[in-house]
Structure 1
Amino acid sequence: MKRLIFVVFLLLPYQGFATELDRIVHSIEAEWASIYFSSKIRNKENAYTCLLDRTKELANQIPDSPELMFWQATIIASRAEHQNPIEALAAIHKAQDLLLKTISIKPDTLEGSALITLGSLYYQAPGWPIAFGDDKKAEQYLKKGLQINPKGIESNFYYGQYLLNKDRPEQAIEYFKTALKGPIREEQKFADSSLKEKIKMIISKTALGSETKKKHIASL
C-alpha cells in the first residue's frame, strides 16, 4: 500500500491524465484528513511524513503540478505542529515557498486553497526577525481566496479563524455560519463533515465567550 498511489500513477494512459490526477489529489486529501482529524493516531508526525514522501514522489513525476505543490505545503505545515520549534520554523518557511510557487503558477489552485493556506500561515507564523508573520498579508490572501470561493467551507472557516484570532468574534461567527452552509463534496465527505463539526464547536464556544464577556462588562 505504501507506494500504491505512485504505482497507479505510472500506469496511467496519457489521455486519462487529468482525471486520474484529480483522483490522486483527492486520495492525498482524504488521507491528510484522516490524519488531521483523527484522535487515535499517536505519532502524527510520522503519519504526515509517510504521506509527504508519497506526495513528493508524485511531484517528482509532475514537477510543475500546482495541486501537488499545494499538498506538499499543506502536509509540511500540518506536520510542523508536531515538530520541535527549530524543525517547525524551517517547515513553515518551506511551506511558504511552495505556496508562493503554487500561486505563481495557478492562483486559483483547488478553488483558492493555496491563497487561503498561505494567508493562514501569515497570521499564525511569528513575525520578523523570527519568521514571516504579517497580519496585513494574511488578510489580503484570505480575502483573495474568498473571492475565488465565496461560499466554500474552507475559505469561510479560515477567514473566520483569522477574525477570531484578531478578537472580532461577531464577524467571525458570520463567516463560520456561511461555512456551515457550504456544500459537502461527494468525494471528500469525511474531510468536509469533520470540518463542519469543528466549526459548530467553535461557534458554540465563541458565542458563549461573547455572552460571558457582555455580562461581565454589564456588571461593571
Structure 2
Amino acid sequence: MKYIIACLLLGAFSQGAWALDAADQQRLNDIQQSWAHIQYEVPEGQRTAAFEKLAAQASRFTQERQSVAEAWIWSGIVTSSWAGAQGGLGALGKVKEAKADLEKALAIDPKALQGSAYTSLGALYDRVPGWPIGFGDSDKAGEFLELALRMNPNGIDSLYFWGDHLYRQKRYVEARAALQKALLAAPRPGRETADAGRRKEIEALLVDVNKKLG
C-alpha cells in the first residue's frame, strides 16, 4: 500500500485559492508546505507520525470551515498520504476517509484549486486495489483524470497523474508526451519543495516509460 498512495502526493495543485480569505489562505499554505516537507524531506520512517499530526490539523480546518472546498481537498490529500506512509491493508480505512473528503470538496466546488479534487480522486482510483478489497477502478480513474486535465491542462500534477494513468494502461507513447509536458509546467511560487519532488517523480516514471518503448 505504500506505493499505492505514496504518489498521491497531490501536494501541489494550484498556485492559489482565490476564493479564500487571507486567514484561510494562510492556513491552506501552511498545510501545503508542511505536506511537501513531510513527503519529500522527512525520512520515510518518520512520515507516518508526521502525517498523522498534519491530518489532525487539516481535519480541524474542515470542521471550522465546512464550506471551504480547498480545506476538504487538502484533508483528503493529507489523509491519503498518511495512509501511504502507514501501508498495509489497515490503511484502507484512511483511503476511504480521503475519498469521502474529496467527494465533499467536489460537492461544494468542483473547480476549486483548478479541479484538484478530480486529480486526487483519479489517483486514488488508479492505485487502490479493486473489489473486493478496495474501490480501485481504472475506468473511473481515467474519467476523473481527464476532467482534471480539462480544468488544468498545463499543471504539473494533472499531467503527471494523467501520464501515470496512461503508463498503467500501456499507452506508452501518450504517457511519455504527457510526462514531458509536465516537466515544462510553470513553477508555482511558494511550492518549490513540492515542485522539486514532483519533477523527480516524473523523471523516474519517464525512465520506466522509455524502457517500455525500447
1:139-184, CA deviations, whole angstroms, 9 ceiling, x for partnerless residues?
0000000000001100000010111112222111111011111111
Is the CA contact 1:184–1:193 (under 8 Å) kept in the aligned structure 2? Answer: no
65-74 or 124-133: which moved more?
124-133
* Residue number among 9, 21, 24 corresponding to 1:21 in the alignment: 24
Contact 1:125 1:133 in 2 (8 A): yes
The AA in structure 1 aligned to 2:83 is A
Displacement after TM superposition at 1:67 (Å): 0.8
Across the aligned residues of Structure 1 and Structure 2, the Cα RMSD in angstroms comes to 1.5
Question: 1:51 maps to which residue?
Answer: 54
Give a deviation string over 1:4-38, Cα, whole Å, max 9, x none.
xxxxxxxxxxxxx6123122212211110111112
The structure 2 residue matched to 1:97, chosen from 76, 97, 100, is 100
* 2:114 match: 111
Distance in 1 of aligned mates of 2:138 and 2:128: 10
Report the Cα offset of residue 104 of structure 1: 1.0
Counterpart Cα distance in 2 of 1:93 and 1:195: 24
> Is 1:79 matched up with 2:77?
no
The residue aligned with 2:177 is 174
TM-superposition CA deviations, 1:103-159 (whole Å, max 9, x none): 111101211111001011111111122221111111000000000000110000001
Q: Kindly indicate whether the alpha-carbon contact (under 8 Å) linking 2:126 and 2:138 is maintained by their aligned counterparts in 1.
A: yes
Question: How many residues are matched?
Answer: 195
* Structure number having the greater helix percentage: 1
* CA gap 1:50/1:165 in 2 versus in 1, 3 angstroms: same
> Match for 2:81: what amino acid?
S
Range 67-76 or range 51-60, more displaced:
51-60
Letter in 2 for 1:27: D
Alpha-carbon separation, structure 2, partners of 1:37 and 1:167: 28
State whether structure 2 residue 169 is matched by structure 1 residue 184: no
Aligned positions of 1:187-206 closer than 5 A: 187-206=190-209
Higher RCO (C-alpha under 8 Å, 6+ residues apart): 2
TM-score by length of 1: 0.83
Amino acid aligned to 1:29: Q
Q: Which moved more, 1:17-26 or 1:165-174?
A: 17-26
Q: State the identity as a percent.
A: 27
For the residues of structure 2 that align with 1:112 and 1:97, how far apart are their CA atoms? 16
Distance 1:41 1:89 in 2: 19
User: Structure 2 CA distance, aligned partners of 1:133 and 1:203?
Assistant: 24
In the TM superposition, residue 204 of structure 1 has moved relative to its aligned partner by 2.7
> Take 1:204 and 1:130, find their aligned partners in 2: how far apart are those partners?
31
Gaps in structure 1 of 5+ consecutive residues: 1-16, 212-220
Tell me, yes or no, if structure 1 residue 208 matches structure 2 residue 211. yes
SS across alignment from 2:213: helix
Matched, 1:42 2:45: yes
